[in-house]
Structure 1
Amino acid sequence: MVASILRRNASPTQISLFFNAIFTILVLLILNVILSKTRSQIGKYMVLNRVELLTIYTCVSIGSGIAGVDRILVLMPLIGHAHWFATPENDWAGLFHRYIPDWLTISDKRIMEGYYQGFSSIYHPINFSVWISIVLWWCAFILALHLVMLCISVILRKQWVESERLSYPIIQLPLEMTYPKGRFFKSPWMWVGLMVGVTVDVVNGLNFLFPSVPSLGGKLYDLRRIFTDPPWNAIGWSPMAIFPFGVGLSFFIPLDLSFSCWAFWLIWRLERLTGSVMGWRALVRFPYEAEQSHG
């Protein structure tokens, strides 16, 4: 349902550095400057320090991750999707409805009409009585899921922080932005880098609206256009692009990790090519990239 409604959108949780969290910090920093210039003691008292700003950034990031792409954003439509879109033609009722727990989904289409068609309210007694119990069950599941993820992070913390000494590149930007005395914003190199990124993004945006405008990286180029003859065309969809933010983040991650990002991409294409030559392409899902990526 989400994919059918949203088109050409930019979700803040599609990449690890959530831009809504960065924008929140930027707005608070601007308010800090304004409040610090006031003569009122109340205004100066309301100025947030670095710890408070980073706490807000952390809360916004965690909340966005839970409510964003591949989490609650797709969970809510799933609550009624299987029953609302069931028809005699697709025979979903006979195929898998018996496997869906009643206490985790809504099967009454009269209750779902307000959700899918509008002109209703969650606070209507009938809607509220049905939705509240299901939402509470899913909230319990989400709480348990993230509690497990937190425990895993605690277990791996010593290895990551003390042994491997990971730099956590996506936290570097908010750390620099909240550094006292505005060191980040006083750096001329920051403004040069910002203008380069903005220029590339604006030009690519114009290219999207007006194809006659040339693009400056950031546009996926499919290598299948070059390799059109067998067995080379077995590489399948092979997009390549240069993203400025990706190039910048690569300087902060370990070399073995940055090497793996492109090395395994080439290995998978080589596996596809080998499978085509050896006649293994008939195997379902070969070369099992999803299984390999899960270890």
Structure 2
Amino acid sequence: MSNPNSVTVRAVLLGMLLAVLVNLGPTYSGYIVGSSWSDFGHLPLVTLLLFMVLTGFCNVLAKVIRPEWALKPPELLVIFVMGWIAALMQGEWLGGYFLGVISAPNYFVSPENQWTRHILHNIPDWLILSDKGHAAQWFYEGLPPGQPIPWMVWVVPIFWWFSFFGVLIFVCFCLAVILRKQWVENEKLRFPLAEIPLMLMKRSKGSFLPDFARTRVFWIGFFLPIAIICWNISSWFNPLFPNIPLIVGYNTFPRIVIATGYPEIFAKIDAYVIPFAFLTRMDVLFSVWFFYLLAVLQVGLFSRVGYSIGTADPWSSFDAATGWQSFGGFLVLVVWGFWMARRHLKNVLRKALSGTTDIDDTEELLSYRVAVLGTVLGVFYLFWWLHRA
């Protein structure tokens, strides 16, 4: 059973504060300082670092000063989850690309590119930022002295786009509620990223440190890379500090080439990959390098015979063919996952429609009826929004 005392007022307030910090920090670091974004990945670094400060310093200090002030493990979990979800919005992607998408059309339009004739008349006014009051121009070139920010021009496009994002997130939440029991209890899938905050919170009675951090080996392994990373941060801002490479051999080690036309195989030592490999199962590690070599052979063979289906997407693969194969594999996994869950989904649907007791939803964040209804209505809204756009 869930602990009703885990969602306390202070946990929610601290979670909201963490949610703000994990979005403001990377945005300020990336756009203002020109440094690392620290919000990439499924478990963003900024979330993990701030949570480590909270658990390893702030909470320990609270225990020393006044033990009742210290946050309990369920409260820490609530705080982490709120910050984790907020960090997945990612300042660069949503705050950067999104603002560029809605502001660029009316700023870059010109008689030469003829966007007014070929593009703008196909885009609804509520979808992009208008240049009324020079809003688009001021967004890119800066606000003139003494001029107020034209907030009202931004209200309409942001409202409609955020309605789309909000409904999309809600539909994903409903699907997670529907599939949680199948994933966790029936298939017993592991969620290794979710184990990290649990490890940070797990500590013996009377101990200020997590159980895994009470050995000398851990602190040696912790401070050695942290010291190198901090040194490299200094070298980034001050060239007098020589850089200590954590990725060795990217430009110096030999690159293995099977034959002409085959992609290069980079031979390097990556300090960031070593801990990942240590925590990964052997069969998964085998699959990583085996299928990478298989992709190299395939792309090289296609190149030798002159077969191509287009340019590669830098975010997915080094060749278009393997990129589309990856997408096809993803679709197969999705279809196979729903097929494996067919009995569970049938019970969920019966529970939502008739209230049958074949399956229990008291442990879920939403009832199955609300989750199914939310998914259906949300999908209809998303299709309607895309159709109107």
The answer to whether the 8 A contact 2:42-2:88 is kept is no
Q: Does residue 187 of the first structure (1) align with residue 203 of the second (2)?
A: no
Match of 2:94 in 1: 71
What is the CA–CA distance in structure 1 between the aligned matches of 2:321 and 2:33, rounded to whole Å? 30
Give how far 1:17 is off: 2.4
Greater displacement, 107-116 / 76-85 = 107-116
| Consecutive unaligned residues in structure 1, runs of 5 or more | none
Q: What is the 5 A alignment of 1:4-19?
A: 9-19=35-45
Give how far 1:138 is off: 1.3
What is the CA–CA distance in structure 2 between the aligned matches of 1:8 and 1:219, rounded to whole Å? 26
Instruction: State the secondary structure of the residue aligned to 1:11.
Output: coil
Instruction: State the secondary structure of the residue aligned to 1:106.
Output: coil
Match of 2:170 in 1: 147
**Using a 3 Å threshold, how does the CA distance of structure 1 residues 117 and 255 change in structure 2: closer, same or farther?**
same
Which has the bigger relative contact order, CA under 8 A and spacing at least 6?
2
What is the CA–CA distance in structure 1 between the aligned matches of 2:240 and 2:179, rounded to whole Å? 48
Instruction: State the secondary structure of the residue aligned to 1:17.
Output: coil
**How many residues are aligned here?**
283
The answer to whether the 8 A contact 1:168-1:252 is kept is no
**Using a 3 Å threshold, how does the CA distance of structure 1 residues 65 and 284 change in structure 2: closer, same or farther?**
same
The letter of the residue matching 1:265 is: Y
What is the CA–CA distance in structure 2 between the aligned matches of 1:280 and 1:45, rounded to whole Å? 68
Match of 2:378 in 1: none
Q: Does residue 175 of the first structure (1) align with residue 202 of the second (2)?
A: no
Q: Does residue 198 of the first structure (1) align with residue 198 of the second (2)?
A: no
The answer to whether the 8 A contact 1:105-1:134 is kept is yes
Q: What is the 5 A alignment of 1:1-295?
A: 9-29=35-55, 30-38=57-65, 43-108=66-131, 110-119=134-143, 124=148, 127-180=150-203, 181=207, 182=209, 183-201=211-229, 209=239, 215-217=245-247, 220=250, 225-227=255-257, 230-232=260-262, 235=263, 239=266, 241-281=268-308, 283-285=309-311, 287-295=320-328
**Using a 3 Å threshold, how does the CA distance of structure 1 residues 289 and 164 change in structure 2: closer, same or farther?**
same
For the aligned residues, what is the CA RMSD? 3.5
Q: Residue by residue, what CA displacement relative to the aligned partner does 1:183-236 show, whole Å, maximum 9, x if unpaired?
A: 24322222122123224535666887579766343664599955396233xx16
**Using a 3 Å threshold, how does the CA distance of structure 1 residues 101 and 292 change in structure 2: closer, same or farther?**
farther
The letter of the residue matching 2:306 is: G
What is the CA–CA distance in structure 2 between the aligned matches of 1:8 and 1:188, rounded to whole Å? 36
TM-score, length-normalised on structure 2?
0.61
Greater displacement, 186-195 / 134-143 = 186-195
The answer to whether the 8 A contact 1:14-1:69 is kept is no
The answer to whether the 8 A contact 2:255-2:267 is kept is no
What is the CA–CA distance in structure 2 between the aligned matches of 1:17 and 1:253, rounded to whole Å? 16
| Consecutive unaligned residues in structure 2, runs of 5 or more | 1-26, 312-318, 329-389
